């Protein structure tokens, strides 16, 4: 059925032709509209109940049987990332190639939301939300530490154990004692983990959801991607399982990173203001972050999530500019182009899935990262889909893949490059020796106006957590309401607070590591889901009017 | 007394609208005023429609149906919102302004405990709108 272009009164614009899928399923038909106490609910049966209960059960078992459960989950994660390293690397390459293909082929001119749809958000607001949800917090912590790690291991050269396997963690063939090459490899490896590949993963999930929702009329929930493969069966248990898995990965991903985030923010506050590192301060931080996130979800997409993301973007840009201006400016500017060139130069070798000599690096870093990004992709992808209506596929892929990748190159060059330069040129070892959560602050302490910059840094860390938490709650709420975005307010309040409580339980009970391992392990089934999504995207786009 | 009446409708829960629709129609006939039915949708597919365009068509069909059934002059106006759960009140305020209505008739539920935390839609409008608001319970 073709949805004819009608300029019906009242709408900002006609939607134009798109290819609606005909199905007898009505969105919300499996929902239960009920009341718990005085609060009205409109929840998907059984996704809401199953995901809520499984999460509670998992937290309970992890806390009760910590010593035995912890190792099982982390073994599962290492087994998956080392046995299926080729699978993760190969799949991620496929996602990047598909994205580039969408830019250059005529399929790129399909518009999300129908031929005449207009964008829901302006470019700055859209970018701000893409970034805040996508990787904001990671950039704060790994922007300084990861380039240093790869630089140091590459500079240290290779070493071989008794069994003939390499024992070092250096990327590729390393560069023993060669500062320039070690820097190039280190920066290329870091950019590789934060550039095209992760954003391609997000783009695939987001694009398939947006396509099947805005153009095909299916509900905005993960199961809709599977319509071309499973047909009407996605409304049954097949779909329930997919959605529950997505909620599960999102909630554990958010709760564990909130828990770790509180630890890191606490360490930062201790370093800057002498805030004692203790469980109490961490719980206070989680409660504070959750409270702000709650205020933001209650204020809604435009007044809450969008506004916070914009504030974040401005703060991040200020910090970046600050580091570029007061840091080694010329080195950063020339480094940007040099690092971009190194990235392009080493990309084929770094992304090669087979016959790798640097198993520690390709399995321990790359494969782990890919599983990690993929486990985040239902959440980030769905959020990106929610804000991307009205863009063409080409515009979408360029803006979700290429521009964020370039920003990551600049960010890594400014933060990592400055830190490497401090180590190499100034012999400043403290930044290399500092624990992960303090590296950013150690680097900033060598620059002028330390206290102001560090303060902005700590505010950014906290606001990035808030934006992850509020956008995550909206996503979980939509999935557990069967794709309805207008479910009653108490539901999103529930998910947002629940996430904070799970984080506190894991922090105090000590299950953060094992459940994070569990969340990352969901990256494996999701990789298969994403490969199917690639097929669904191409098939879905072919049927669209261009 | 009234020149144009606005009636916000939730097409997903038509069954709850009966009394408000009847009240609005009676007032419209008494005053010889037209009714404008206003609906708000998210841009994502929902229970009522797959696209905002389809939503607008359904709302127009609803208005025509009401015009015939109640014997009133009716029109329809659909609005989109990024987050209807939250923005509904603000969109309705904007609609009052844009449509130049001087009376709102809308259905609401009996207030309970949650209204202490989140104001009901009709409650918000009654408090903030510059024109008369008739809340039908």
| Residues of chain B contacting A19 with CB distance shorter than 8 Å | none
What is the pLDDT at residue A11? 34
pLDDT at site B7: 92
| Number of domains comprising chain B | 1
Nearest CA in chain A to B61: A8
Q: Which chain A residues are within 8 Å of B114, Cβ to Cβ?
A: 38-40, 490
Distance from the A142 Cα atom to the nearest Cα atom in chain B, whole angstroms: 33
CA A503: distance to chain centroid?
A: 18
Q: Measuring CA to CA, how many Å separate A323 from each of A51, A74, A127, A193, A231?
A: 43, 37, 21, 22, 52
Residue that has been written with the tokens 């690639």 in this structure: A534
Q: Which CATH class is domain A47-349+393-542?
A: mainly alpha
- Scan for tokens 């669209």, then name that residue: A544
Assess A3–B contact: CB distance below 8 Å, yes or no. yes
Which helix (H) or strand (E) element contains residue A513? helix A512-521
Inform me whether the C-beta atom of residue A219 falls under 8 Å from chain B C-beta atoms.
yes
* Shortest Cα distance, chain A CAs vs residue B9, angstroms: 14
CA trace torsion A183, A184, A186, A187 (10° rounding): 110
Nearest to B43 by CA among B34, B54, B32: B54
From the list A29, A213, A301, the residue facing B82 with the nearest CB is: A301
Name the residue with higher pLDDT: A383 or B124.
Answer: A383
Along the 546 residues of chain A, how does pLDDT read in single tens digits? 333 333 333 333 335 666 677 777 777 777 777 766 666 777 777 888 888 888 888 888 888 887 787 888 888 888 888 889 999 999 999 999 999 999 999 999 999 988 888 898 999 999 888 888 876 678 888 889 899 999 999 999 888 888 878 888 899 888 888 999 999 999 999 999 999 999 999 999 999 999 999 998 899 999 898 888 888 888 889 889 889 988 988 888 888 888 888 887 888 888 888 888 888 999 999 999 999 999 999 888 888 889 999 998 899 999 999 999 998 999 999 999 999 999 999 999 999 999 888 889 999 899 989 988 898 898 899 999 999 999 999 999 999 999 999 999 999 999 999 999 999 988 888 888 888 888 888 899 888 888 888 888 888 888 888 888 888 999 999 999 888 888 888 888 989 998 898 888 888 887 788 878 888 888 888 899 899 999 989 988 988 877
| Residue burial A77-112, b: 16+ Cβ < 10 Å; e: rest | bbebbeebbbbbbbbbbebbebbeebbeeebbebbb
User: What is residue B115's predicted lDDT score, i.e. its pLDDT?
Assistant: 53
* B94 neighbourhood in chain A, CB within 8 Å: none
SS3 A448: coil
A149 close to B (CB below 8 A): no
- Using alpha carbons only, how large is chain B's radius of gyration in Å? 14
Chain A nearest-CA residue for B85: A486
The 10 Å CB-count burial string (b at 16+, else e) for A245-257 is: bbbbbbbbbbbbb
- Where are the domains positioned within chain A? 47-349+393-542
Domain with residue B132: its CATH number is: 3.40.50.620
Other beta carbons less than 10 A from residue A270's beta carbon = 16
Chain B within 8 Å of A36 (Cβ-Cβ)? no
Of the partner residues A3, A304, A490, the one whose CB lies closest to the CB of residue B54: A3
Nearest to B45 among A12, A120, A218 (CB): A218
Using the Cβ of A471 and the Cβ atoms of chain B, whether some distance falls under 8 Å is answered with no
Those of residues 488-517 in A touching chain B at CB distance below 8 A are 488-490, 492
Residue of A nearest to B119 (CA): A489
Chain A nearest-CA distance from B12, in A, is: 10
Tell me if B60 and A27 make a contact (CB, 8 A cut-off). Answer: no
Q: From CA A493, how far away is CA A500, in angstroms rounded? A: 11
What is the least distance, in Å, from the CA of B101 to any CA of chain A? 15
- DSSP 8-state class, residue A147: H
Nearest CB among A6, A12, A300 relative to B80 is that of A12
Closest CA to A380 of A489, A151, A222, A264: A222
CB contact under 8 A, B47 and A40: no
By Cβ distance, the residue of A10, A114, A486 closest to B77 is A10
Indicate left, alpha or beta for A114 from its phi (over 0: left) and psi (-120 to 50: alpha).
Answer: left
pLDDT of res. A415: 94
Neighbour-count burial of A221, counting CB atoms closer than 10 A to its CB (0-12 exposed, 13-18 middle, 19+ buried)? buried
Residue ranges making up the domain that contains B76: 5-136
- pLDDT tens readout for residues B67-98: 999 889 999 999 988 888 888 888 888 999 89
Which residue of chain B is at minimal alpha-carbon distance from A492? B85
Q: Which residues of A touch B86 (CB under 8 A)?
A: 298-301, 303-304, 489
Task: Tell me if A40 and B46 make a contact (CB, 8 A cut-off).
Answer: no
Query: Distance (Å) from the C-alpha of residue B52 to the closest C-alpha of chain A?
Result: 7
Q: Which residues of A touch B118 (CB under 8 A)?
A: 298, 489
Q: Which of A12, A29, A114 sits opposite B51 (nearest CB)?
A: A114
Taking any CB pair shorter than 8 Å as contact, residues of chain B touching chain A are 12, 42-47, 50-54, 56-57, 59-60, 75-80, 82-87, 112-114, 118
Distance from CA of A213 to the nearest CA of B (A): 6
Would the CB atoms of B51 and A490 count as touching at under 8 Å? no
Query: A17 to chain B: nearest residue by CA?
Result: B53
Contact at CB, A38 and B113, closer than 8 angstroms: yes
With contacts defined as CB-CB under 8 Å, which chain A residues touch B54? 3
Q: Is the peptide bond before A46 cis (omega within 30 degrees of 0)?
A: yes
């Amino acid at each position: 059925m073709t949805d004819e272009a009608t300029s019906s009164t009242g709408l900002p614009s006609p939607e134009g032709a798109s290819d609606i899928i005909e199905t007898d399923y009505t969105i919300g038909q499996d929902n239960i509209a009920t009341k718990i106490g005085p609060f009205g609910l409109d929840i998907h049966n059984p996704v809401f109940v199953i995901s809520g209960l499984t999460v509670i059960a998992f937290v309970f078992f992890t806390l009760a049987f910590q010593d035995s459960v912890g190792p099982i989950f982390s073994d599962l994660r290492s087994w998956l990332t080392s046995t299926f390293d080729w699978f993760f690397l190969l799949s991620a390459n496929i996602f990047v190639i598909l994205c580039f293909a969408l830019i250059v082929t005529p399929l790129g001119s399909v518009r999300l939301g129908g031929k005449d749809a207009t964008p829901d958000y302006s470019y700055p607001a859209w970018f701000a939300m893409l970034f805040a949800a996508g990787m904001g917090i990671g950039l704060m912590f790994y922007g300084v530490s990861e380039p240093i790690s790869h630089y140091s291991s590459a500079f240290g050269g290779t070493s071989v154990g008794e069994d003939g396997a390499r024992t070092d963690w250096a990327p590729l063939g390393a560069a023993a004692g060669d500062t320039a090459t070690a820097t190039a490899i280190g920066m290329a490896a870091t950019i590789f983990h934060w550039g095209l590949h992760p954003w391609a993963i997000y783009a695939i999930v987001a694009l398939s959801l947006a396509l099947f929702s805005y153009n095909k009329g299916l509900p905005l929930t993960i199961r809709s991607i599977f319509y071309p493969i499973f047909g009407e069966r996605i409304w049954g248990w097949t779909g329930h399982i997919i959605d529950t898995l997505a909620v599960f990965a999102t909630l554990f991903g958010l709760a564990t990173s909130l828990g770790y985030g509180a630890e890191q923010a606490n360490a930062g506050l201790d370093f800057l203001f002498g805030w004692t590192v203790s469980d109490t301060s961490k719980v206070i931080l989680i409660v504070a972050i959750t409270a702000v996130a709650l205020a933001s979800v209650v204020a809604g997409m435009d007044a809450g999530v969008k506004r916070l993301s914009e504030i974040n973007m401005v703060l991040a840009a200020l910090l970046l500019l600050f580091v570029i201006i007061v840091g080694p400016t010329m080195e950063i500017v020339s480094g940007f182009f040099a690092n971009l060139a190194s990235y392009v130069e080493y990309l084929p070798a770094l992304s090669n899935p087979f016959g790798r000599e640097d198993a520690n690096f390709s399995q321990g870093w790359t494969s782990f990262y890919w599983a990690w990004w993929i486990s985040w992709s239902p959440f980030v992808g769905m959020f990106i889909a929610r804000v991307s209506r009205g863009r063409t596929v080409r515009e979408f892929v360029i803006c979700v893949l290429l521009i964020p990748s370039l920003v990551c190159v600049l960010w890594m060059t400014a933060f990592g490059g400055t830190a490497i330069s401090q180590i190499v040129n100034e012999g400043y070892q403290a930044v290399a020796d500092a624990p992960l959560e303090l590296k950013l602050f150690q680097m900033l302490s060598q620059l002028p106006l330390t206290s102001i910059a560090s303060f902005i840094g700590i505010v950014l860390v906290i606001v990035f957590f808030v934006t992850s938490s509020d956008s995550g709650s909206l996503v979980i709420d939509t999935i557990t309401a069967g794709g309805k975005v207008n479910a009653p307010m108490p539901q999103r309040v529930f998910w947002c607070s629940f996430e904070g409580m799970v984080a506190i339980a894991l922090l105090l009970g000590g299950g953060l590591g094992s459940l994070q391992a569990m969340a990352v392990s969901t990256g494996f089934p999701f990789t298969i889901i994403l490969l199917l999504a690639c097929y669904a995207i191409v098939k879905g786009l072919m049927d669209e009017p261009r | 007394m009234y020149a144009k009446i606005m009636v916000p409708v939730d097409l997903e829960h038509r069954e709850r609208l009966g009394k408000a629709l009847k009240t609005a129609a009676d007032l419209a006939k008494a005053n010889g005023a037209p009714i404008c039915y206003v609906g708000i949708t998210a841009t994502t597919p929902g229970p009522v429609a797959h696209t905002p365009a389809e939503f607008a068509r359904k709302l127009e069909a609803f208005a025509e149906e009401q015009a015939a059934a109640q014997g009133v002059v009716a029109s329809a106006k659909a609005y989109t919102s990024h987050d209807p759960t939250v923005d509904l009140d603000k969109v309705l305020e904007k609609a009052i302004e844009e449509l130049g209505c001087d009376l709102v008739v809308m259905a609401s539920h009996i207030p309970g405990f949650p209204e202490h935390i989140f104001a009901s839609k009709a409650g918000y409008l009654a408090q903030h709108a510059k024109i008369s608001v008739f809340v039908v319970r």
